[in-house]
Amino acid sequence: MSIKNELQNELVDSLRAQDRNRADVVRQITTEVARAMKAPGFEGDEDDALYQKTIGSYAKKMTKALADYDRLGQSDSDPAAKLRFEVDYLGRWLPKALSEEEIVALVDEAVQAVGAMDMKGMGQVMGHLKKGHPDLDGAIASRLVKARLSGG
């Protein structure tokens, strides 16, 4: 079953169960997909790849917003709880994130591939990583590349 169909079924089920949080996040993803398809330069189909990309982008934004709530000491607030639910709920349609150990191995391989010896090569290493692994968590990769190239 396609992600679009799964989300449609989820919306129907959530409305029957009067689960507002689930209905809200499904509607939001539907809206985000529609925006993506109307964006200038969009070419493609309304397929699982578009839904995964859109869900990933939305979940990333919500994760950043959740970090802001945590930073402000409001991690127990109702809005933070709703964001946490949305990120957890949407995770079922996202590929499993790489562990830090797996990212370390990718960083080591990228450093070797571009021949980086110091921090001057960081951009090349990050470019190599992003080219081969576009869904890689950039913040974690950047931290690990810095540690590797600075001798840490």
Reading the block at residue 18, the tokens are 């009067």
Domains 3-93 and 100-149 share a fold: no
CA 117 to mean position of chain CA atoms: 30
Residue 64: HSE in the Cβ half-sphere, 13 Å Cα cutoff: 8
Reading the block at residue 53, the tokens are 């990309």
The model's confidence at residue 13, banded by pLDDT at 50, 70 and 90, is very high
pLDDT in tens, 64-119: 998 898 888 998 899 999 999 999 999 999 877 788 888 999 999 999 999 989 89
* Residues 4, 46 contacting (CB under 8 angstroms): yes
The model's confidence at residue 44, banded by pLDDT at 50, 70 and 90, is confident
CA separation for the pair 1, 70 (Å, rounded): 36
CA 103 to mean position of chain CA atoms: 15
CA separation for the pair 63, 50 (Å, rounded): 20
Task: Using the predicted structure, report yes or no on whether residue 56 has a pLDDT greater than 80.
Answer: yes
Per-residue confidence (pLDDT) for residue 22, from 0 to 100:
96
Work out the mean pLDDT of the chain and round it to a whole number.
91
Task: Using the predicted structure, report yes or no on whether residue 152 has a pLDDT greater than 70.
Answer: no
CA separation for the pair 95, 50 (Å, rounded): 13
Task: Using the predicted structure, report yes or no on whether residue 138 has a pLDDT greater than 90.
Answer: no
* Residue given tokens 């409001």 in the structure block: 74
Domain boundaries, given as residue ranges, for the chain: 3-93, 100-149
pTM to 2 decimals? 0.68
The length of the chain is 152
* CATH fold group of domain 3-93: Hypothetical Protein Yqey; Chain: A; domain1 (1.10.1510)
Cβ neighbours around 37 below 10 Å, total: 14
Architecture of domain 100-149: Orthogonal Bundle (1.10)
Residue 95: HSE in the Cβ half-sphere, 13 Å Cα cutoff: 13
